[in-house]
Structure 1
Amino acid sequence: MMLEKIEKVLEEDVRPKLLAHEGDVEIREFKEGILKVKLLGHCSGCPSAIVTTEEIIAETVKEKIPEVKDVVLVQEVSDDLIDMAKKLLNHTYTEQQVRS
């Protein structure tokens, strides 16, 4: 029930603002008054992600749903990105060893 209420606020009041920047938001968890969200699209990994979370998402959700005490941004790195980074780092390291 609470997740549906939060999702409705996100859909009606938050997503239109994020979609204007080709971004989106996803609920990761709501527990003990803390809403954890993940930014998607162009908003994901954006240097302004914290500001977006605080000024757009948190203010709106907390105003409309007093049970939400805080909104926390979950920043996750995909396994694919980690694998790619490892390959790049390994390749660079191997080239340096060969040159030495």
Structure 2
Amino acid sequence: MDQIEQDIKNVINKLRPYLQRDGGDIEYVRFEEGVVYVRVLGACQGCAYIDDDIKEGVEMILMEEVPGVTEVVAV
């Protein structure tokens, strides 16, 4: 695993407790050409706000903390 993937995983692990408080979770799937692919779990799967949470929360933080990240997509 290269450094950028490790950095992405570290950031996601910092965010997970906030999602877990509401019964959800997120896991890293892969990183390709600037895009981080994640899987949402638990209560996040059916949540009407998950797209906003991904774009306005997870994506924003990852883009700020990990150079090279341009987008986050839930799969």
TM range (shorter): 0.7 to 0.9
The alignment status of 1:35 with 2:36, answered yes or no, reads yes
Q: Which one has a larger percent helix, Structure 1 or Structure 2? A: 1
Partner of 2:7: 5
Per the alignment, residue 69 of structure 2 pairs with 68
Structure ranking higher in strand proportion: 2
Q: What is the rounded CA distance, in whole Å, between the counterparts of 2:39 and 2:7 in structure 1? A: 18
TM score, norm. by length of structure 1: 0.68
**Residue identity opposite 2:68 in structure 1:** E
Q: CA deviation at 1:45?
A: 2.2
Following TM superposition, by how much is the alpha carbon of 1:43 offset from its aligned partner in structure 2, in angstroms?
Answer: 0.7
Q: Which runs of 5+ in 2 are unaligned?
A: none
Which letter maps to 1:10? I
Offset, 1:56: 1.5
**What is the deviation of 1:17?**
1.4
The structure 1 segments of at least 4 consecutive aligned residues displaced by more than 3 Å after TM superposition are: none
TM norm structure 2: 0.87
2:12 maps to a residue whose letter is L
Where do 5+ consecutive residues of structure 1 fail to align? 75-100
Alignment RMSD (CA, Å): 1.1
Query: Distance in 2 between the 1:44 and 1:26 partners?
Result: 12
Give yes or no for contact 2:12–2:28 (8 Å, CA) kept in 1: no
Query: How many residue pairs were aligned?
Result: 73
